[in-house]
Amino acid sequence: MPGVPVGDFEISLIRSSIYWWDGGVLFGVVPKTLWSRKCPADELNRIPLGFNSYVIRTGDHTILLDTGPGDKMDARARERAKMPAVSEPLPEAIARHGLDPEAIDIVVNSHLHWDHAGGNTVLHGDRAVAAFPRARYFAPRGEWERAHERHVRDSVAYIHANYDPLVESGQMTLVDGDHEVAPGVWMRHAPGHTRAMTVVAAASRGQTFCFLSDLAPLAAHAQPTWVAALDLYPLESIATKTRWLAAAVEGNWICGFGHDPQADFARIHADPKTRFAASGLEA
């Protein structure tokens, strides 16, 4: 799908690859008899997911939202997720979508989990260097703090080589709460999946695109009570999601999901049974 216009902005999806993950992990307390109708599982109970990044071209800036898995996973982890043995470097994936990776001057991480920040850096030997040398990087400070707690529950999700070299060099700015990274493009605090996660809302001429990241990893998560078992604060996920999706309906926003393997862009509408539902934008 070519870039989608949002006012003066143009938004493109970069899906660096498809991977497969346990469906139960994605749907938490929702019974499989319900979620498997929307996301059929394979013989190992895995469902297909995408590593979704978005590029916003504002005219003045080219902004990359999330950077996918990167190159720091071992062969076993890749095999478990049915990922290609070697990931296509994100700058190449961006070029394959007809965009110039060199033009990226801002990189935003909604949060610092490996599958959202892995492409921030690339390994040269055992040294991690910026994959987008020209860019200023932004991430929530609370994410960086959580990563360094090395909590037993989620330390596996954080790989320091994805952000510490950038923080040390001053190339990454850690932000507190809401933060405008470029005119009209805001990181907005959206707690639930983690304490400090943000969504990114880009508004131009009365139109809005919102990257929901892991607030709604799949279109099926538009139903507020469908919360991943991964979420550290599920009740907050429900409250945050209800608030953001109500705004999305009200403003007729175009939304993007963190991991949907098919829905590149979607609108949210009210639904009498599930409260909200998503419908994909036609190509």
Cβ-contact 70, 90 below 8 angstroms:
yes
214 vs 264, which CB is nearer to Zn ion? 214
Residues 174-233 contacting Zn ion, CB under 5 A: 214
196 vs 203, which CB is nearer to Zn ion? 196
147 vs 161, which CB is nearer to Zn ion? 147
Query: What is the distance between the alpha carbons of residues 137 and 47, in angstroms, rounded to a whole number?
Result: 31
Count of residues touching Zn ion (by CB under 5 A)? 2
Question: What long-range pairs does 32-37 form, CB within 8 A, spacing at least 24?
Answer: 35/220, 35/226
143 vs 264, which CB is nearer to Zn ion? 143
The region, left, alpha or beta by phi > 0 then psi within -120 to 50, assigned to residue 104 is beta
* Tokens linked to 239: 């409250």
Query: What is the distance between the alpha carbons of residues 254 and 64, in angstroms, rounded to a whole number?
Result: 17
Check residue 113 for interaction with Zn ion (CB under 5 A). yes
**3-class SS at 77?**
helix
| Least distance CB 25 / Zn ion (angstroms) | 11
Check residue 260 for interaction with Zn ion (CB under 5 A). no
Check residue 57 for interaction with Zn ion (CB under 5 A). no
22 vs 102, which CB is nearer to Zn ion? 22
Choose one: 2-10, 106-114, 120-128, 268-276; the region binding Zn ion (CB under 5 A). 106-114
Query: What is the distance between the alpha carbons of residues 164 and 269, in angstroms, rounded to a whole number?
Result: 40
| Least distance CB 10 / Zn ion (angstroms) | 26
- Look at residues 26, 32, 2 and name the one whose alpha carbon lies nearest to residue 14: 2
| Least distance CB 202 / Zn ion (angstroms) | 21
| Least distance CB 117 / Zn ion (angstroms) | 9
Cβ-contact 92, 84 below 8 angstroms:
no
Question: Which residues in this chain contact Zn ion in the complex, by CB under 5 A?
Answer: 113, 214
